[in-house]
Amino acid sequence: MRALLLAAGLGTRLRPITDRIPKCLVEINGRPLLDYWLELLSAAGIGQVLVNLHYLPEAVERFLAQSRYPIEISTVHEASLLGTAGTVLKNRAYFRQEPLMLIHADNLSWFDVRAFMGRYEQRAAGVEITMMTFHTDAPETCGIVELDDSGVVRAFHEKVKNPPGNLANGAVYILSPQVVDFIASLNKDVVDFSLDVLPRYMGRINTYLNNVYHRDIGTVQSLTAAQAEYPLALARRTSDALR
């Protein structure tokens, strides 16, 4: 399985930090966000990764050229942003008609990638997407999902007041090749994944719960919180594993 790391965002809510640093290279405890993702994917045996670029692409290229992980990293520059699904479509040949892992690299996350892949492999007939979920402390700022008893998404509430719960979409997915075919059938270059794709797959998305750590590094406040939370979350995980 190959992965697509979406790293083209402008990071406007993180200004002035992102005036000179692309959002994907903002540091958490001395390490850029992209470094955490490359470590996580490498440890799970993901050997090929595509990174899309737009804002300050030279800085991202320099960082990737120094990567210490045994991953074959390719990049693609978007002169104009294509939307998440538009980027998938533009680079469909890279994924060779195989399942692909789609990751928003402006989040900080730790989870068992192999277990996530296993959840996709064990999906029921008709399920075409596996979505990573997490419990959020700010449900009104997230896409909140409702599941049936088998963990399949039955409803999705995108950033609404008083959502029905706090189980959120983590913006990490595994897509079947048929999903890419569907994106192509829309006959659009710019395609929004949340608006144009996910609503068409209700009842065909199973889920994997990340119960270790996940946070959108979208604001200075969330960046500050992650600096303190992330080491504690990993320490708790290690402690639990030793019991």
Within a domain: residue 150?
no
Within a domain: residue 6?
yes
Cβ-contact 60, 33 below 8 angstroms? no
Does the pLDDT at position 156 exceed 70?
A: yes
Counting residues of the chain whose pLDDT is more than 90, the rounded percentage is: 64
Name the more confident of 207 and 139. 207
Cα separation of 204 and 126, whole Å? 6
Does the pLDDT at position 140 exceed 90?
A: no
Within a domain: residue 159?
no
Within a domain: residue 153?
no
Contacts of 187 (CB under 8 A, 6+ apart): none
At CA 152, angle to CA 174 and CA 3, rounded to 5? 5
Domains identified in the chain, total number: 1
Q: What pTM, to 2 d.p., does this model score?
A: 0.91
Does the pLDDT at position 13 exceed 80?
A: no
* Residue 161, phi then psi, degrees to nearest 5: -70, 140
Helix axes 33-43, 57-65, angle to 10 degrees: 40
Mapping DSSP to helix (H, G, I), strand (E, B) and coil, where does residue 98 land? coil
Within a domain: residue 185?
yes
Contacts of 241 (CB under 8 A, 6+ apart): none
Can you give the pLDDT at residue 238? 63
Q: How confident is the model over 202-209, as a mean pLDDT?
A: 96
CATH number of the domain residue 7 falls in: 3.90.550.10
- Identify the band that residue 129 occupies on the pLDDT scale cut at 50, 70 and 90: very high
H or E, element range at 143: strand 143-147
- DSSP class of residue 150 equals T
Cβ-contact 211, 232 below 8 angstroms? no
Within a domain: residue 151?
no
Residue range 171-189, pLDDT digits in tens = 999 999 999 999 999 999 8
Does the pLDDT at position 75 exceed 80?
A: yes
Q: Which domain holds residue 77?
A: 2-134+169-242
Can you give the pLDDT at residue 17? 67
- Identify the band that residue 242 occupies on the pLDDT scale cut at 50, 70 and 90: very low
Burial of 243 (0-12, 13-18, 19+ CB in 10 A): exposed
Can you give the pLDDT at residue 181? 96
